[in-house]
């Protein structure tokens, strides 16, 4: 056998192995990509609800019933939130429930502070997730 034939066989075999590896890896990578895409879609819905809550809490006029919105956020955050977000939101819910029962000025201030921390954490997490972390905060 000639040296060129051996090189051709080795390269052909190498090409065959690469094709098989690609044939196996492509569906795995596609599935992972689709899962990530779906997660980002649901995270976007969660982020929209968090933005609604942020807008309601920053409005000056009148009292707003944020309980239904918080219930929606709770469902979404339990399914698609990160552990830090879930923990923070549970703390917000505890302070909110305490605030509803007592309605003191200090409890209202605690709720505002905890909401600010929750919003900040959620916004920063979402920015990192959609790769906007390198952009300046405004």
Task: Give yes or no for residue 132 having a pLDDT over 70.
Answer: no
Q: Give me the long-range contacts of 128-132 (CB less than 8 A, separation at least 24).
A: 129/40, 129/43, 130/40
pLDDT in tens, 15-32: 999 999 999 999 999 999
**pTM, full prediction:** 0.70
Measured from the Cβ of residue 124, the count of other Cβ atoms closer than 10 Å reads: 13
Quote the pLDDT of residue 22: 92
- For 40-54, the pLDDT digits (tens) are 889 899 999 998 888
Q: Radius of gyration of the chain from Cα atoms?
A: 25
Give me the residue spans of the domains in the chain.
Answer: 36-129
pLDDT of residue 4: 86
Please say if the pLDDT value at position 109 is more than 60: yes
Distance CA 91, CA 110 (A): 11
Residue with tokens 């923070």: 88
Q: Kindly report the average pLDDT of the chain as a whole number.
A: 86
Nearest to 67 by CA among 96, 87, 39: 96
Find out whether 76 and 45 touch, Cβ atoms under 8 Å: yes
């Amino acid at each position: 056998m000639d040296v060129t034939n051996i090189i051709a066989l080795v390269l052909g075999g190498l090409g065959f192995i690469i094709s098989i590896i690609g044939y196996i890896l492509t569906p795995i990578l596609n599935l992972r990509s689709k899962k990530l895409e779906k997660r980002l879609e649901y995270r976007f819905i969660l982020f929209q609800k968090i933005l609604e809550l942020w807008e309601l809490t920053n409005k000056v006029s009148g009292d707003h019933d944020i309980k239904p919105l918080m219930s929606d956020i709770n469902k979404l955050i339990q399914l698609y939130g990160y552990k830090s977000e879930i923990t923070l939101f549970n703390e917000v819910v505890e302070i909110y429930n305490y605030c509803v029962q007592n309605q003191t000025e200090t409890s209202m201030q605690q709720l505002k502070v905890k909401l600010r921390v929750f919003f900040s954490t959620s916004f920063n997490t979402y920015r990192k997730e959609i790769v906007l972390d390198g952009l300046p905060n405004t």
